[in-house]
Structure 1
Amino acid sequence: MGEAASPAGEFTLRVYRQDPAGASVPRYDPFRVPLLPRMTVLDAVAYVQSRLDPSVAFRFSCRAGMCGTCAMVVNGTERWTCRTSIATLGSRVVTVEPLRHLPVIRDLVVDMTPFFAKFAAVEAAFAPKAGKAGPARILPDAPERRAIAPHIECITCGACTSACTMLRWDPEYLGPAALNRAFTLIADSRDALGPRRLALLDGEHGCWRCHTQLTCTEVCPMDLRPSEAIQNLKRMLAARALRQVWHSLGAAADEGAAAPVEPAPPREGPPVPAPPPRPARRPGLAALLTVVLLAGAVGVAFLLWAGASSRAAPPAVVAEGAHSPLPVAGLALYRELQCGACHSILGNGGKTARDLWRVGARRDAGRLARLLRDPEEVIPGSGMPRYHLPEPELAALVAYLSSLDLGAARSVRVQPEAARGARLLLASGCLGCHRASGAGAAQGRPLAP
């Protein structure tokens, strides 16, 4: 954080303070901090500690968005403080708090021991199968690789665990981070503990505790989808239950067929006439109940699949020709805000609201901005939530929606890394001086043609 640049004003940083060892009552201490160019929340907390109050405790390491140790709750939302620009928050009062659902050591520092204990509970270490001499050959387009890839880059920052509302009511719940890791191992054909690990998740504190509120997916800085991984685990458990019922029915039938029949002892006296032949028996109550149970299990499995599909992340596409970082950053915002839960793009996504492909031809940028600021004012009764977005993020989301026209009949896919990079570029404030593909200011050297 440079000191040469003059501050562009001041803002208030409210810091959560608590010292459990000293039995102090939690409080918020306000500090007036100069707003320096490109200042992040982590910069602001470091400024307070180094200039105003050296007793403020917080944790950080790389300052480059790679380790995740600086994760905190900023204005009510879990964020990496090293990647959160003060300017993008759009507020002159910034409140920082420790991660939720973890013991506070002091101020903004939490004890991560319970967090990693959940990883140990699901046996989160890879265990190779016996007899595998060489490396497994899994092609890049293999189904299991495609299933695991969206969940593999977790850096255990704890943001998803802090955002999970179910951990407030059930502290023993394994949580989204541990369950996400468990899914990546269970879905891996090279792992030897899949069945045992899956059994560990089938309980009161396992994946059934998740209510699919998607808060973990919304705050993940790595754009992972823990809620989708948990839904996949539920489908695996439902399939396992169906197989167990089927095997138990088959075993019962085999046991009944193999039971020996003892001959009746000889009778004295006149012979007893043979009874008339019985009519063919209709399926009894037990068979009917079996069919009903199987149908119900199939229905539950289908509902789990449909629920996960309706909440899946929207397709990572932009219109062909949209090369500016603004629409790509807007794509990342579109995913963060879970717009795809209601809207679809090219038929992919939710079904309760209209498809947004070519929305740029139906709505100009100004109307889209007004709609995102106050949906009820533009379309009364739409039911669309109101987003309080800072202007840079609003402009990026409008640019993305507008790019879905461009007179293009085709779309191009955007890699998650590219969308995340454009989002970080927007949040960093670099476009305040530099230009990149037509976006930003012209004072600095262009970052891209």
Structure 2
Amino acid sequence: MGDVAVGVRRDSLALPGLLVVAGFAAAVVAQGGYYLPGRVLSAVLVGAAVVVARPRPSVFVVLGGTFAVWAVGRGAVAGELLSGVPAAVAVLVFVGAALVAAQADLGQRELLATVVVGVGTLVGVSGWVAVVWRVPGWTTVAEGLARAASTLTYPNAAAAVMAAAAVLALVLKTSLLMNVVRFLLLVGIGATMSRAGVIALVVGLGVLAVLYGVGETLKKAVPPLLGAAVAVAALVPTMRVDEEPQVLLAVAGLIAGALVSLPRAGKWVVPGVVLAAGAVVAAAVVFADRLATRISFSSPDRSQAADAAFDLVAQQPLAGTGPGQAILFFVRGNDDARVMRYVHNEYLQVLVEFGVVGLVLALAVIGAVLVRMWGGKRSTPLHAGAFAAVVVVLVHSGFDFLWHLPVVLIVAGLCAGLGFPSTRDGMEEGTATP
């Protein structure tokens, strides 16, 4: 199927694209944009990009706007007018990023894809560094393990960004630098110890195999996956917070994994498989007590929170509790009562807070995106990578509260726009209604 060429001279990004990239960067630096300053800054930058771009109205835009109106209106009815604003901003940031990316020509789209991959790589590297050198704030301790969180300060959100970037990176032109980038993205995902991130990545690779070709996907994905297995296995001892970091082992594992990940070094394939398998088995055996919860699909707190969420849905199924009003109470075993704000499933979270009406509108926005992407130039590698990246975010959203972080929505929106259908034989995008 070929690659998307990267590394040759392309047109520079237009002002709308630069503004969205600035919003993306702001969200990455400002803890994913979760808190008010980062949320406002990223929203203002993406909003300014849309104003400058002046995209034509479409079904996608109408559905997104309708959900935003419903979110604000539901908050007003609940007595908290501003409580619905974050959800409204979230959908508008997603829609805005997609519209701006859709207006980019082929060269600009490749630049935007490179930005997503490049920034995702920086997130991965900073997360690995944070674990090895125990950087406060950039790691999160859970089950006795220091998990990479990077500047986003939330491991699962970091994993979502990197997983989307990883499948997108597989369709970019192969080079020594791109080989390293793919490897580092996968290492970063492993360093987060995010189960949902791995599941979403696997699904994304499956989608990529269908659209891009099984052989091409395996050729691009297997070497960095083997290398990442070596590097992450060497990192596991350092992740144990009750022991001193094994810096030399982690660095040696990273170097060894990088060598294994070189696809043209055929002599490394068999040793790489053996080394990766051995490293993973050794880590699993030696550190089974700490890794058990990360390799298990069991999550009692989330399961009980989901049960509590469905109880709230049963009380107010049509309109929901209102934004920010869903407080989940449950008792875990013989412990005291526990309280959670998020159900760690964005689809269920929308159903709880905005009711059936809100969920239908949210699914309509997603459906409109997928339909419009399916009408894109499906024979191109960039379209395949963008579609797979969007699927990664959609799958991961069923396991974590990702839509509360603008950084994830901007990544998803950019990838959606990269796959939107084209006019003028794929050279200009985003000027036609679906």
TM-score range, shorter chain: under 0.3
Q: RCO (CA 8 Å, sep 6+): is it higher in 1 or 2?
A: 2
TM-score normalised by structure 2 residue count: 0.28
TM-score normalised by structure 1 residue count: 0.27
Rg (Cα) greater in structure: 1
